[in-house]
Amino acid sequence: MTFADSLAQREASHSKLEEREYWWRDHQQWLQACGYMLRPRYRPGWTPSWHGKKRWSFECEDGIAMSYDNQLDATRVSDGKMVTLKRIVKSEHPAELEILEFFSSDAIKDDPRNHCVPVYAVLPVPETEAQSYQYSLFSGSLTTLLLRQLARNIAGNVMMDPSAMYPDMYHPQSFLYDSLDMKGSAKHYSRTERPTKYYYTGFERARRFSEYPHLLVPSASGVPEIQDHSSLYQQWEFRTDIYYVGRTIKVHVLLAFSGLEFLDTLVADMMEYDPAKQPNIDMVVARFDEIRKQLKGRSLRSRLVPKWREEHSLVKAWKDCRHACRMIKYAIRGYSALPTPA
């Protein structure tokens, strides 16, 4: 197959919905009646906007398929806010909706320790037992409140709400942060200029306990080292979560960037195989707060240098200089070295 044939085949495949998108297309009018509008790709009678034009599918807003089978972006008609819809099958994940609604309840939704993604509405699907609900765009974080209520499902579910950094938002299915119309990069600010809030999402395997600690065989999906030591973790289910958080920080932060060595010891202790030697969540939070207090402004404003690629000396010098100028500008304008969302 030639490159031209491959390209033509790809364009043809993008011109029709994938099987996993059918459910959303078939429920578009019902969702619209509930007050949520899906993008043109999922509306009745959709015709690819690039047909008859000198554009590729990936250059067009409706040329990108959904990323997850059970989640899709939508616009709330009442105020134009972008939200995410998630389809939940209660028979598969019976506790997920209950837990999400608990963290969105009036009693704790405004608790500063609560970083669980908020639920705006629950929409019972008429013809099935499935429950579909919507929640704010992105999610994920670690709090004492969270870890004393849940267990078994922390790894890989740390996400952010980009609305402060991207006031006009970007295309929700674009990995390049393109504008909503895919005609250029979306307008954006840095995290220092517009601090963002991180949330925790993904409660499919989570459970809520009335006491702490609770005995439960840990869910060690995809983490061989936990599976190898599962007999130890059966005694302290929440310690599995602490391990997952430590592993997430190590893999996605410490192994990715240099200059964060001050976290090495804490993360290593969080990943201690023996739960009896592992700090509990209150200890983790206290130690992290102490580390943060000891860091000076210069350290907090230093540039994170990626480890996955080697920088040429001239490139490094140029990036260091550019970063220093930016930090001086931020300092003059009064931006905190430790940005905190309002």
Profile the chain (342 residues) by mean pLDDT over runs of 10 residues.
70 86 94 95 93 86 88 92 88 85 88 86 74 40 40 64 90 85 91 90 76 48 52 59 86 91 95 85 91 90 88 92 95 91 81
Residue 329: what pLDDT?
Answer: 95
Residue 133: what pLDDT?
Answer: 47
Residue 137: what pLDDT?
Answer: 34
Residue 326: what pLDDT?
Answer: 94
Residue 308: what pLDDT?
Answer: 81
Residue 149: what pLDDT?
Answer: 47
Helix (H, G, I), strand (E, B) or coil at 279: coil
Distance CA 159, CA 99 (A): 18
Distance CA 318, CA 338 (A): 24
Residue 154: what pLDDT?
Answer: 60
208, 214, 215, 216: CA torsion to nearest 10: 20
